[in-house]
């Protein structure tokens, strides 16, 4: 079965550079989530999109932006990179949602390891 | 802010032993998911529990959702070295926070042969 695809898997950038992370959800999934996971930490929610509209926002810095395109893939744009941005960035997708959480299982991609030097 | 307290953070046991990981919150979640994560890889969904009091079994793993949907547990019977990994619980918020998962701190399980 097709899974969530993230690219690139590894990315090395210098401070103050920009980076773009891409996420291709499971086919027919309309919801995409972005998470940041620092070393030894649990994933922290950044932002989510449902049907190409931002649905929720977490602890995402103003230097970061994201969008979901018409084909439901999503991109996380990160500017003015800082050393502290080094982390694993995960994308997850799910098929819609209901207010009571049914049919909202989120499946994660393998992540992009961003290293800022 | 919804928080999930997961315990223990570290667990080191011998093959064949049983163990339980707990996930507790003061908030109600619409559902709770358990993931397993290998180093450098994305979390892999193990199970989702939705109904208060629900119990789900996945081979030697038993998952339970508290009656009030504020807590959950993962019980592993006769642990094997292949069970070694990071286990994460994650609560799914309902209402206006559609689909946002709040993760616990994780439990690093090591099963020694």
Distances (CA, A) of B33 to A18, A27, B106: 33, 21, 12
Q: How far is B86 from chain A (nearest CA, A)?
A: 10
Distances (CA, A) of A76 to A8, A49, A66, A68, B62: 12, 11, 4, 9, 36
How far is residue A6's CA from residue A24's CA, in Å, rounded to a whole number? 6
Specify the pLDDT at position A31. Answer: 87
* B6-17 average pLDDT score: 96
Q: Check CB contact under 8 Å for A111 and B99.
A: no
Selecting from B50, B98, B104 the residue whose C-beta is nearest the C-beta of A50 gives: B98
Specify the pLDDT at position A28. Answer: 87
Percent of residues, chain A, with pLDDT higher than 90:
67
Listed residue (B89, B92, B106, B87) closest to B27, CA to CA: B92
Selecting from B45, B94, B104 the residue whose C-beta is nearest the C-beta of A105 gives: B45
How far is residue B99's CA from residue B113's CA, in Å, rounded to a whole number? 39
Q: Please give the mean pLDDT across all residues of chain B.
A: 89
Q: Please give the mean pLDDT across all residues of chain A.
A: 90
Percent of residues, chain B, with pLDDT higher than 90:
64
HEC profile for chain A?
Answer: CCCCEEECCEEEECCCCCEEEEEECCCCCCEEEEEEECCCCCCEEEEEEECCEEEEECCCCCCEEEEECCCCCEEEEECCCCHHHCEEEEEEEECCCCCCCCCCCCEECCCEEEEEC
* A3-26 average pLDDT score: 97
Note the pLDDT tens digit of each residue in A46-86: 998 988 888 888 889 999 999 999 999 999 999 999 999 99
Contacts of B106 in chain A (CB under 8 A): 42
How far is residue B6's CA from residue A96's CA, in Å, rounded to a whole number? 27
Chain A CA closest to residue B43:
A108
Specify the pLDDT at position A97. Answer: 58
Contacts of A100 in chain B (CB under 8 A): 30-31, 50, 94
**Phi and psi of B104, rounded to 5°?**
-80, 175
Specify the pLDDT at position A116. Answer: 97
Note the pLDDT tens digit of each residue in B77-100: 999 999 999 999 998 776 555 567
Residues of B with CB under 8 A from a CB of A: 29-31, 33, 35, 40-45, 48, 50, 88, 92, 94-106
Q: Please give the DSSP secondary-structure letter assigned to residue B81.
A: G
Q: Is the pLDDT of residue A101 over 50?
A: no
Specify the pLDDT at position A4. Answer: 95
Note the pLDDT tens digit of each residue in B29-64: 888 899 999 888 899 999 988 889 999 999 999 999
* B4-26 average pLDDT score: 95
Tell me the pLDDT band of A98, cut-offs 50, 70 and 90: low
Q: Check CB contact under 8 Å for B99 and A113.
A: no
């Amino acid at each position: 079965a097709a899974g969530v695809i993230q690219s690139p898997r590894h990315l090395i950038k210098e401070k103050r550079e920009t980076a773009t992370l891409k996420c291709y959800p499971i086919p027919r999934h309309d919801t995409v989530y972005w998470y940041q996971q620092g070393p030894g930490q649990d994933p922290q929610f950044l932002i989510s999109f449902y049907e190409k509209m931002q649905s929720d926002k977490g602890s995402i810095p103003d230097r970061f932006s994201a969008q979901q395109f018409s084909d439901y893939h999503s991109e996380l744009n990160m500017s003015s990179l800082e050393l502290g941005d080094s982390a694993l960035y995960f994308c997850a997708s799910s098929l819609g949602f209901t207010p009571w959480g049914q049919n909202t299982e989120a499946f994660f991609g393998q992540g992009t390891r961003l290293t800022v030097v | 802010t919804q928080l999930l307290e997961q315990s223990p953070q570290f667990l080191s046991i011998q093959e064949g032993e049983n163990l339980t990981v707990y996930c507790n919150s003061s908030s109600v979640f619409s559902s709770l998911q358990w993931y397993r994560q290998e180093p450098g890889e994305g979390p892999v969904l193990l199970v989702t529990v939705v109904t208060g009091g629900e119990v789900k079994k996945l081979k030697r793993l038993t998952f339970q959702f508290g009656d009030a949907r504020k807590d959950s547990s993962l019980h592993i019977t006769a642990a094997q070295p292949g069970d070694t990994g990071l286990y994460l619980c994650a609560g799914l918020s309902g209402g206006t926070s559609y689909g946002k998962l709040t993760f616990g701190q994780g439990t690093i399980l090591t099963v020694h042969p």
